[in-house]
Amino acid sequence: MNAAESQPRTFAKGISYQRLLDSDSRAVPEILRRENRFELPPSEIAVERYTSRAFFDLEVERLWKRVWQMACREEDIANVGDHIIYDIAGISFIVVRTRPAEIKAFYNACLHRGRMLREAGGQRASEFRCPFHGFAWNIDGSLKHIPCQWDFPHIKPAKWNLPEVKTATWGGFVFINMDANAEPFDQFHGPELTRQFARWPLERRFKQAHVAKILRCNWKVAQEAFMEAFHVVATHPQLLAGLGDSNSQYDVWGNFSRAISANGTPSPHLSWQPSEQEIFDSMVDRRLDDPPVAVIADGMTARQVAAHRAREVLRPALGGDVEQLSDAELVDSFYYTVFPNFHPWGAYNRIVYRFRPYGTDVDQSIMECMYLSPYAGDRPPSAPIHWLGPDDDWCDAPELGFLARVFNQDTFNLAKVQLGLKTMKKKTVTLANYQETKIRHFHHLLDNWLARA
């Protein structure tokens, strides 16, 4: 990889994001001015990566069992004894707060005959007791009770703690790693992502919504649909009047990548110039039969109106600090991918995605969308996860607002992509050099992990 700071962008059409920032009404933070292009030869990705059982099994052994991965939010387990179940590729964990400032994660299996200790999360537990025979462990993993202990003289209680995995926290999220020899989280994560989010601290948010949907496609097919704006012209045509798609900016640092798409500016694909009202209506995905969200006055731009509205929405939580936020931070989309499957959005956009396999099924996955919102005073309760099946409509989760309609457009394609991959005579998929930068970077990192014996 050869990444050069501040390398200029050129586009066939449309204003560059850096030029757009020049017209902002506020000072733009330095982090939005940074560029770090990812340089590799053109990418051809083997189709079997999305369809092969052997490849899936290799990912389990060399990726999921070794990599740092996001398991939950800290507020999901706010009190001692609170716990959640995190499942990845057929492996289950109990993630529990054992002390006010301590979080641990254990393999979710009884050491007697393997029965899952917990099928769902819970609050203020004092033990994890197997429903099958009654073996029990304290929440710190130490052995608490052996039924008919006289019949198990071969069990040494001090050696019968629940097997534990590494944990770490960042931005209010809890991460786990199954590899006892894994590099420290701070080294894997690196300081750069923390620097980029310093202005928008995720730890000072609460989980306002959490929706998970089972999809009929490989987890990478699902994830990659949300790593570029290239698809907008065909998949979300209603957004083109108010979204700079093909002139988005893509950057890479270490184990994470970033895309920036400008809102409130028309797509370079359009052959006509929309009015500021049409731009704003597109930004909020207003349909013809919807009431107007706002009327754009003469002399105002859609970006200015959208930024003003966003400042007022955030003012109760952020107070006067909202006046220091640039229009870009309030309007544009900054979508990060932290390898392998964690997607927090920057500034005060509430979105966080996570994508993972659905059990051990190569052809199914789980897509999750969380909304993280700032707050004033005491932290509100964390929203429980709302599960949708593969045939459920995203609009069955009204807490997502208009994005539910957008997600329906996105996921309409994905099962058909999975079937198409199995049909392809060509053995590779071909990626764009720039607009699919984040996908190319992901596969570059995945190659490195899978090559490790």
Residues 59-107 pLDDT 10s: 999 999 999 999 999 999 999 999 999 999 999 999 999 999 999 999 9
CATH fold of 72-181: Rieske Iron-sulfur Protein (2.102.10)
How large is the average pLDDT for residues 177-188? Answer: 97
- CA–CA separation, 150 and 281 (whole Å): 73
How large is the average pLDDT for residues 146-152? Answer: 98
CATH architecture of 4-53+190-450: Alpha-Beta Complex (3.90)
pLDDT of residue 4: 41
Task: Look at residue 135 and give its three-state secondary structure.
Answer: coil
Q: Where are the domains of the chain?
A: 4-53+190-450, 72-181
Other CB atoms within a 10 A radius of the CB of residue 36 amount to: 17
pLDDT of residue 423: 98
pLDDT of residue 53: 98
Q: Is the peptide bond before 340 cis (omega within 30 degrees of 0)?
A: yes
Question: Which token pair is 62?
Answer: 């060399």
- CA–CA separation, 407 and 415 (whole Å): 13
Question: Which token pair is 177?
Answer: 């790693």
Q: Residue 260 phi/psi, 5° resolution?
A: -125, 120
The answer to whether the beta carbons of residues 436 and 444 sit under 8 Å apart is: no
Question: Which token pair is 350?
Answer: 């509430």
The pLDDT mean for the chain works out to 95
Reply yes or no on whether the pLDDT at 302 is more than 60.
yes
The answer to whether the beta carbons of residues 69 and 87 sit under 8 Å apart is: no
For the four alpha carbons of 133, 136, 141 and 142, in that order, the dihedral sign comes to: negative
Beta-bridge partners for 358: 361
What is the DSSP secondary-structure string of 348-407? T--EEEEEEEETTEEEEEEEEEEEEEE-SSSPPPPPPPEEE-TTS-GGG-GGGTTHHHHH
Question: Which token pair is 328?
Answer: 């870009």
pLDDT of residue 92: 98
- Kindly report the pTM of this predicted structure: 0.94
Task: Look at residue 233 and give its three-state secondary structure.
Answer: helix
- In this structure, the strands spanning 386-388 and 205-215 are parallel
pLDDT of residue 427: 97
pLDDT of residue 3: 42
